[in-house]
Structures are given as C-alpha cells and as structure tokens.
Amino acid sequence: MTPDILQIAAALLAATFVSTAFLAAGALYGRFAAEPAPRAPRLRREEPRGTFAAFRSAAIAPLAHRNELWVPAGPLAKIDRWLGQAGRPMELTAAEVVALMQVTAALFFAGAGALSLWLRLGFVAWLAGLISGAAYPLIWLRDRVRARQRAIVRALPYAVDLLTLSVEAGLDFSAALAKVVEKGRAGPLREELRIAIRELRLGKTREETLRHLARRVDLPPLTSFVQALVHADRLGTPLGNVLRVLCTQMRNERTQRAEKLANEAPVKLLLPLVVFIFPTLFLMLFGPIGYQVFLGGTF
C-alpha cells in the first residue's frame, strides 16, 4: 500500500512541476513575443520585476483565475478584508492568496515527503507538511496585519495632536487632515488618511469618510476616535474641544500601554531564564562538585 501511495504522490508532484514549467515558459514566451520593444512613454507605474513577479505571472495568475470559479465567495471576502487591513501587500488579491496557499502546500508536501522517506516518519509527516504549507500564507498575512496595526496605534496619538493643533489654528477638517498628511510621519496611518482626503475631495461626507476609514483599518482605538468625531459632528459640538479631549485620552492610553508592556517584561523573561540561564548556571556551579563526588575526579 505504501509504495503505491509513494508512486502516486511522486507522479502528481512530477506532473505539477512539469505543468508549472510549461506555464512559465508559455507566459514568458508570450510576453516576449507580444511586446517586442515598447518605446512609448510609460504613463502607468512600472510593475516590479523579479523572481516573484515572473512566478506570479506564470503560475499564480492562472491558479487565481481558476480559484475564482470554484472557491466560495465567503472565504474570498474574508481574505480580501484581511488584505485590506494589511495594506494590500504586493497588490495581492484574495484568489492569488488562495493560489499561494496551494503552491506552498505542494512545496511543503514535497519537502515533508522527502524528509519522511529519509527519516521514515510515516504519512503523518506528509499530512503535517501539507497543512503547514497551506497555512503559511495566512500566517504571513496575519503577521502583516498585526505589524500594520501596531504601526497605526503608535502613530495615532501624534497624528491626533497635529490634527488638534491644525483645527485650533483655524483650519477646517479637510485642510487639517491634509496638514497631518503633509507634516505627519510616514507610515500606514498616513496612507489611510491620504485615502480619506481623496474621498472627501470626491464629494463624500465627513461621516462616510470616517466610517470608511474605521472599516478599512478595523482597529479599536481608531474606531473609538472615529465614533467620537461622528457624534460630535451630529451634535454640533466644537471639533477643537473634542479633539483636545481625545488627544489627552490617547496620551494616557499610550502611557498605560507602555506601563503594561513594562510590567509584562519580567513574566516573559521567566521562561528563557528557567530554560536556558538557570541550567547553565547550575552546571557551572555544581558540575565540578558532581564530577568529583560521583566520578572520583580531581582538580
């Protein structure tokens, strides 16, 4: 039974790699044949070139096109929301993320199969490699979302301070946002505020723009900030007073967050202290004594 499974798996992997090679060769040949030497000025941004770009156009794009036909709309919508929270890394789509999951699952399955044959681990290692490969793009996307949200949380108090100063100086909300984008720190929050300014200039109301901003980022501190601004706009409360209160609140929350991280540091250091430092210390202190007592050694 096991040799048959190995033969089938080897045949499937060989067929996958051969088909990928043919797709890559066909895509590259078609690109070179259809675009001999463009001399017209480029009006659009030039696409990034490299190994991943060639692999994306050769293998990921055909798989993504097929995934759009059979993958349910619910998982694709959820992955698309995660991509929006991550800032659309490499302009990936939800179908392309599913295609990456398939490719990494095949690669991890092949690596786990080779390792299993070498170390005789059994078919469980193959299954673990398949699941790990399929989950790897989602783990990478989750890390990108968390890193971007951390950057937004760190930049939010400074942006609110600058927005408060701009509003109290006499600028309206749109001009104050533009001043924050102009003078603020580079990062994901600046990009999101630039999108909000673009929506305001296209004719959307302040409430719609702020709610779209909160929905795109999906971060509790920014959501509470947006809700406070929306309620102030509905009730007619002066925007400067509301921003001043929010600015003080965010500075306090930043201080509390720093204190929380400082209090968590000793607990996080406990595990490496017990696992790595204490055994080494005990070995240095009691190793010579144990050597002399149990083995009769002398120094």
123 CB contacts (<8 Å, ≥6 apart)? Answer: 2, 5, 116
Tell me the CA distances in angstroms from 170 to 176, 239, 246, one per residue in order.
9, 11, 18
Q: What does the angle CA 183 – CA 224 – CA 193 come to, to the nearest 5 degrees?
A: 30
Distance of alpha carbon 289 from alpha carbon 295, whole angstroms: 10
Question: Would you give per-residue pLDDT tens digits along the chain (299 residues)?
Answer: 444 444 444 444 444 443 444 444 344 334 333 333 334 334 344 444 567 677 677 777 777 788 778 888 888 888 888 888 888 888 888 888 888 888 888 888 888 888 878 877 777 888 888 888 888 889 999 999 999 988 998 888 888 888 888 888 888 888 888 888 888 788 888 888 899 889 888 888 888 888 888 888 888 888 888 888 888 888 877 888 888 888 888 888 888 888 888 898 888 888 888 888 888 888 888 878 877 777 766 65
User: How much is the pLDDT for 35?
Assistant: 39
Distance of alpha carbon 180 from alpha carbon 177, whole angstroms: 5
- Spatial CA neighbour of 137 closest among 91, 96, 77: 96
Instruction: Please answer whether residues 186 and 155 qualify as being in contact, where contact means their C-beta atoms are separated by less than 8 angstroms.
Output: no
Instruction: Please answer whether residues 27 and 57 qualify as being in contact, where contact means their C-beta atoms are separated by less than 8 angstroms.
Output: yes
User: How much is the pLDDT for 110?
Assistant: 86
Q: How many CB atoms lie within 10 A of CB 62?
A: 16
User: How much is the pLDDT for 95?
Assistant: 86
- The domains of the chain, with CATH numbers, are 2-31+56-149 (no CATH), 150-255 (1.20.81)
Q: Phi, psi at residue 52, to the nearest 5°? A: -65, -35
- Burial (CB < 10 A; 0-12, 13-18, 19+), residue 243, is buried
User: How much is the pLDDT for 34?
Assistant: 37
Ramachandran category for residue 288: left, alpha or beta (phi over 0 → left; psi -120 to 50 → alpha): alpha
- Spatial CA neighbour of 200 closest among 221, 180, 228: 180
Distance of alpha carbon 213 from alpha carbon 220, whole angstroms: 12
User: How much is the pLDDT for 49?
Assistant: 54
Distance of alpha carbon 166 from alpha carbon 171, whole angstroms: 6
Distance of alpha carbon 246 from alpha carbon 224, whole angstroms: 9
